[in-house]
Structures are given as C-alpha cells and as structure tokens.
Amino acid sequence: MAMTTTMKVPFVDLQAQHAALRPEIERAVSGLLDRGDFILGAEVERFEHDYAAFIGAKHAIGVGTGLSAIEIALRGFGIGAGDEVITPANTFIATVLAILAAGATPVFVDMDPATYSIDPRAIDAAVTSRTRAIVPVHLYGQPVDLDAVMAIAARHHLIVVEDAAQAHGARYKGRRAGSVGHAAAFSFYPSKNLGAIGDGGMVTTSDDGAAARMRLLRNYGQRVKYHHSIVGTNSRLDTLQAAVLRIKLPRLDAWNAARRRHADAYRARLQDAVQTPATAAGVEHIFHLYVIETDRRDALQARLKAMQIDTGIHYPVPAHLQEACAPLGGRPGMFPATEAAARRILSLPMFAELSERQIDYVADAVRS
Ligand SMILES: Cc1ncc(COP(=O)(O)O)c(C=O)c1O
C-alpha cells in the first residue's frame, strides 16, 4: 500500500515519558527546595539502596556520570598507571576515556559480528603480563557472554568492570547485567533506558572494600569533612537526579518490556529486507538501541530523514580509529568485524512510548 501521509518520528521522545511523571517529579523537586537538600543526603542514599536491590548487588555508589562510574570502579580496585585494560573497539568513547582517566592503558579487541559483543577469544589473545582488567560493554542493551568473560578473568586474575551504561535491567542467565562482574558502571544520561533530567551515573559492586574506596573517591577522598585519606575527585550523583531516578526506577521493567515488544514488531516487519538484531541465547536484551545493518546505510538514512524519521549511527568511527586515540596505535584493518559494522549499522527510533503507527510507518519507509 502506498504511503500518502508523512509522520514525524523522533529518535527518542523524552517528553512522552515525562508528561506522565510530571506531577511526581515536580513534587520531588519542590520537596528538595523546601529542605535545601542538594548534595548527597537521604535521596541519594535511598536511590542507591533501591538500585542495588534492583540490580542484585550489595552496594550502589551514585556518581556524576557514566564515564566517571567506569573510572571510579577501576580505581576502586586499584587499577591505574602501568596497567592494561582490555575493552572492545566498538564502544562509545567514554569507555576508553574512563580507562585513560584512571591512568591505565586501553587495549582494544574485536567483536562478535552476530551480537556486537566483545569476542571472548579475542580477549584471551590480548592478555599480557600487564593486563589487570577487562571492561566488556553491554552494547545496545544486550549483555555480553559474561560466563566466558568471567572464566578468562578468573584464569588470569583480572578484574571485570561491566560497562552497563546501555543495559539497565537487562538480564544474563536470569541475573541482572551489573551483578556478575566485580563491578559495573551505569549512565543515567537522559536518553538511557533509565535516564535522569541531567547527567548521572552509578557503580554497583558486591565487594565491601572496593565499595568503601569508591565512596571516598567520588567525594574528595574524605571520610570526615576536610580530612582526606586518599586522592579522590568530585563526582557525586546529584541529589535532584537521585530523586527523579527513584520515581522512574519502578517503571523500568515495564519500559524495557515495551522496548522488547517494539523490537519484535520491527523484526517481524523488517527481517526479510535488512539485517535485524540477533539476541544471544540466555540473555534478555533491553534494546537501548535498535540497530539494523544494510549495505546501503547512508542512502537509507537520507531517505528516512526525508520522511521525517530520525535515526542514529552508534558508532560511525570505532574507538581505535578515533583521532583522540591515535597515540594508542590503532590502524584501519585491525578489527575487521567492528570496522565492517561501522559502515553498515543504523539505529532506528526506539523508546518505550513508540506507537504501533510509528513502527509501521518506520518499517514501511525502510522497506520502500
Ligand atoms: C557504552 C557507554 N559507556 C559509557 C557511557 C558514558 O556515560 P555518560 O554519558 O553518563 O558519561 C555511555 C553513554 O553515554 C555509553 O553508552
């Protein structure tokens, strides 16, 4: 059937989510204004408690951003100068910048083209006598093969910090992403599946000693005000963001379920036209991003834009080929699966409030 009307489909629609929550958010903000409670305090503690319980970790430590969460998680385990940290080349630059910020050296590896997840065989091959940690990334909302990663880590005595910035609530063999590694890092950037109304991040861990160190690290290394026991930084989860995130957390599983339904609908309509995402056995993908592949990516993106459909490319330049990473010695051809995907991937609109009409419109546009 020919399409006669155009419809605007945003990539994400934060207004739709906030419209429903606005009265609750306004009450929470006005409560904070009344109390003058702006830095850490009860709201942050309550949200840390709720989030740790949700993930299934003993501790949750609220920090300023997702980038900072990865850095603080690594530093919490004493990883820094002289240490190598293995991470995938197909990730957002923050993963790499966090490893560098901790003082360590990122060592890139390729992905499994079926899932976009770090290739466990490539990790094994990249381990040297200086390797101290692995930062696998649950890219697009799909948990990596954590059993394989943890087995390699155990064999070589490495720390695993899950980059779960795109995977709030996703499950690996029944356990939440963020509860399997030695620590995990989350981002609450507004467009994430659990997003703040500004920046925010969280580290989860079940290691008591590392958790205590991370609490010091995020707050100037101070145990008692103006007494600084270690070299820390200022990276605290904002109290206002904690209050908003606490309102949103109980809705997260329902929002993720809606994203999975939308992914099923996209797959049913698109699988014979483009490559649709595969979900590995035993994992629950939460579709932070819905990423298709096609040889004619740029033409398709331009056509969708002309039809008022916003899309994204996550990510157009792999980390090892970023100009900022040149000192790390990355060269084209090093990671064939990652580099091939970067030329073919396209992220379609995906958010919980996406309507069936919007999905039909996007799917028809892609097929046309
Ligand atoms: C995979 C990944 N890691 C880390 C981050 C960093 O999070 P933030 O933007 O909160 O610093 C993000 C998101 O932006 C991300 O997608």
Q: 217-232: per-residue pLDDT in tens? A: 999 999 999 999 999 9
Q: For residues 187 and 276, what is the distance between their CA atoms, to the nearest angstrom?
A: 26
Q: Atom of ligand 1 at shortest distance to CA of 70?
A: 4
Compute the radius of gyration of the chain from its Cα atoms.
21
**Whose Cα sits closest to atom 4 in ligand 1?**
94
pTM: 0.97
Q: 48 CA to middle of ligand 1, Å? A: 19
Quick: pLDDT tens for 82-118: 999 999 999 999 999 999 999 999 999 999 999 999 9
**Whose Cα sits closest to atom 8 in ligand 1?**
66
Average pLDDT, the chain: 97
Nearest to 68 by CA among 191, 181, 220, 202: 202
Q: Is 194 in the pocket of ligand 1 (CB under 6 A)?
A: no
Q: What is the mean pLDDT of residues 119-147?
A: 97
What pLDDT was estimated at residue 1?
47
Q: What is the mean pLDDT of residues 22-49?
A: 96
Percent of the chain with pLDDT over 90: 98
Quick: pLDDT tens for 269-317: 999 999 999 999 999 999 999 999 999 999 999 999 999 999 999 999 9
**Whose Cα sits closest to atom 15 in ligand 1?**
165
Mutation choice for ligand 1 from 67, 68, 199, 218, CB with most ligand atoms inside 8 A: 67
Percent of the chain with pLDDT over 70: 99
Mutation choice for ligand 1 from 12, 74, 92, 287, CB with most ligand atoms inside 8 A: 92
Quick: pLDDT tens for 347-359: 999 999 999 999 9
Q: Is the pLDDT of residue 255 over 70?
A: yes
What pLDDT was estimated at residue 5?
81
